[in-house]
A and B are shown apart, each in its own frame.
Chain A
Amino acid sequence: MKPFENLSSEVAHVCIWISLLFSSGCTSEFFVDKGQLEIFEGVEFHMSAPYLFEKKAFKLQGENLSVRQLRVISEAMPSISQFTNERLGNRPHHHFEVTEDARIRNIRQMQKLDAQTFLAVKTLQNWQVSEDKIQFTTDYFHTNKAGHFVTFRDNYLFLKINNQWTFKEHPQPAPEGVLACKKSAEGWMVCQEVTVKPAVTP
């Protein structure tokens, strides 16, 4: 009978949402994202412009990160979020030029995306962190010609050199590539690497 018990709270939830939606006085307060200070395990993360949504894509919980490791990520967040924004290459108006770095794999080229296709970032995760080294993966996504989301994963290694966090190399010789996404039992879309099973020889 759990669904019946949940129904009233679901209806209340929707009612609150709709009333908030239609109260014009609340709209600018509730729907404008000016960034915020978030605290995970006592470590401050400044979720603010520039690159606000690249910062919001950082998965910081459920990654088994210690306080020390979270501090390192917090310090590197501005550099990593700028780097991620440059990988997206969404420049309807060229207000700045990004110098191409031959060491960095080009997501648009690998995915054969034209300049008009909007490339977004979904999640930065799989953190491996030490005092002067951060390794992680980034999931990018775009809408393909059929109208479906395509999610693509690549891996990165950053080093702290002269107090600056900079891209060093791709820790893996190839990107993880296009992910397989399916609906979980809870109803969320979950994307995972496609593992190719080795052929069994008789």
Chain B
Amino acid sequence: MRNPDQWSSLFWLLAGLGITLGSLKYGFGTLQAPGAGFITFFAGMLLSLLAVVFFFSSLKRDEKLHKGVEILWEGPEAHKVIFVLILLVAYTLILKHLGFLISTFGLLCLLFRVKATYHLMKVILMSLLITSGAYLLFQVWLKVQLPRGILEGII
């Protein structure tokens, strides 16, 4: 398949069928007393139907595009997207344990190096300033309960 629309329509077809079947599990009910899966059943059916129509309507454009899922990595620095995503997932996992200050400082140090090569001291200084600024704004001023992690009892 040399067309991204065909890949995406297949994905939505599978998703739509899954949702339709899942809705039956929650109970379609009757027209007099619709069940919990009533509206999601119809939405899933509609999604599947539209995906099929879209698949066939995209067949015509097949020869013109000459690229399928390749569009996912066609960006000149696509590998950086994966790196940023890994950093964000890691941040989510360690936030409670290490606390806001340490996790955010570490994250910012790494993020500042993604798109530019700033001097290490500049990166550390910027990360330090922004982390403390964000802490003051959200924790002290807006009273958001940011996790303290291993610094619990110290700050």
Determine if chain A interacts with chain B: no
Task: List the interface of chain A (C-beta within 8 A of B).
Answer: none
Please list the residues of chain B having a beta carbon within 8 angstroms of any beta carbon in chain A: none
